[in-house]
């Protein structure tokens, strides 16, 4: 006989991403519409440790689908990494009578969810977990797309387009640092979209003369008098790169670090729609007793995968996009 799911929790953990609210809304409304109680756990896994939660209904998530950030707040929990911290979290789960938890975040969030579920099983308590990938870095191995990536790209593109206006007016070089500590998806996608002179990403070993200096020189010979260099934070410091450009070319670069502005703002249509579909699928997975899963996108479809296998999946960086950038950055007429 299948276990009946009566009450689930939902939380957001790690770095925030536009669309998290849309995912929370979908989880709550799908659960309530299916006769399942839903508890909002605030401030990530810390909420279970500190009993920081709120009962949610459909009105709790009204008017949040268009909001950035997360209404449940988010945090990283060092205490939850320890067995003693998870023991406290499990005590809260038992107190609330939770049958499952939907955890919205990245790899660290999912690893915490799996550890909690395993510890619960060892203690004789059945607690199923489902993860929803949400990170602007788009670096979750098992999913082709993660919530927040599209909005972050559009935010960066809007900022860079405005920077180009002033760089063109003053005939200058601009070095823009975008997020991406371990992955260059955001930088490369944005770089192609803004017609960058060069893009530096962690996945591609940098030859400073070849990848930056020569590209600037070729662009100048073609008549260009302003240059846009996009740098993923994991590929190097924009300040150091700007300093070296000055030393190598005599140009006077202006450095802009976009920082956390990329995490905020109204989520795009793609992020809202993807988050809504993923939230729905996460609740369906729990109700059908398919726990310890990660909801993911595969070739445009929403699927759920075994969490352990999902965490073991690595994402192969598509270098063909870099080849596109290389081909399009060769300017013969002075245009971008």
What positions carry a catalytic annotation? 137
Q: Which of 166, 156, 106 minimizes the C-alpha distance to 265?
A: 156
Give CA angle at 51 (136, 304), nearest 5°: 40
Helix or strand run (H / E) with residue 40: strand 37-41
Distance CA 262, CA 149 (A): 9
What would the DSSP string read from start to end of 227-268? EEEEEEGGG--HHHHHHHHHHHH----EEEE-GGGGG-SPPP
Contacts of 234 (CB under 8 A, 6+ apart): 180, 181, 182, 183, 184, 201, 202
Task: State how far the Cα of 129 lies from the Cα of 99, in Å rounded to an integer.
Answer: 9
Q: How far apart are alpha carbons 209 and 329 in whole angstroms?
A: 16
């Amino acid at each position: 006989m299948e276990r009946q799911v009566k009450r689930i929790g939902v939380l957001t953990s790690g770095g925030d991403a536009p669309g998290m609210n849309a995912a929370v809304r979908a989880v709550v409304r799908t659960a309530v519409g299916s006769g399942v109680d839903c508890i909002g756990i605030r401030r990530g896994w810390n909420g279970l440790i500190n009993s920081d939660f709120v009962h949610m209904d459909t009105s709790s998530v009204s008017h949040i689908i268009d909001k950035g950030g997360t209404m449940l707040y988010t945090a990283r929990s060092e205490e939850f990494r320890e067995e003693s911290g998870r023991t406290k979290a499990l005590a809260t789960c038992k107190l609330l009578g939770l049958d499952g938890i939907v955890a919205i975040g990245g790899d660290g969030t999912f690893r915490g969810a799996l550890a909690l579920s395993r510890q619960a099983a060892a203690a004789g308590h059945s607690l199923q977990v489902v993860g929803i990938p949400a990170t602007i870095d788009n670096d979750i191995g098992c999913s082709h797309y993660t919530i927040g990536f599209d909005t972050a790209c559009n935010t960066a593109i809007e900022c860079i387009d405005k920077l180009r206006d002033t760089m063109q007016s003053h005939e200058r070089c601009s070095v823009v640092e975008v997020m991406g500590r371990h992955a260059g998806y955001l930088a490369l996608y944005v770089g192609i979209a803004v017609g960058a002179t060069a893009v530096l990403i962690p996945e591609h070993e940098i030859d400073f003369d070849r990848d930056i200096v020569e590209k600037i020189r070729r662009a100048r010979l073609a008549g260009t008098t302003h240059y846009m260099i996009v740098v993923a934070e994991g590929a190097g410091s924009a300040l150091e790169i700007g300093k070296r450009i000055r030393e190598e070319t005599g140009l006077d670069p202006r450095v802009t670090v976009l920082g956390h502005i990329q995490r905020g703002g109204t989520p795009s249509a793609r992020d809202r729609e993807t988050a809504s579909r993923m939230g729905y699928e996460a609740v369906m997975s729990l109700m059908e007793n398919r726990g310890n899963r990660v909801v993911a996108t595969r070739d445009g479809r929403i699927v759920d995968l075994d969490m352990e296998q999902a965490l073991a999946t690595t994402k192969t960086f598509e270098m063909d996009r870099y080849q596109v950038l290389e081909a399009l950055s060769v300017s013969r007429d002075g245009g971008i």
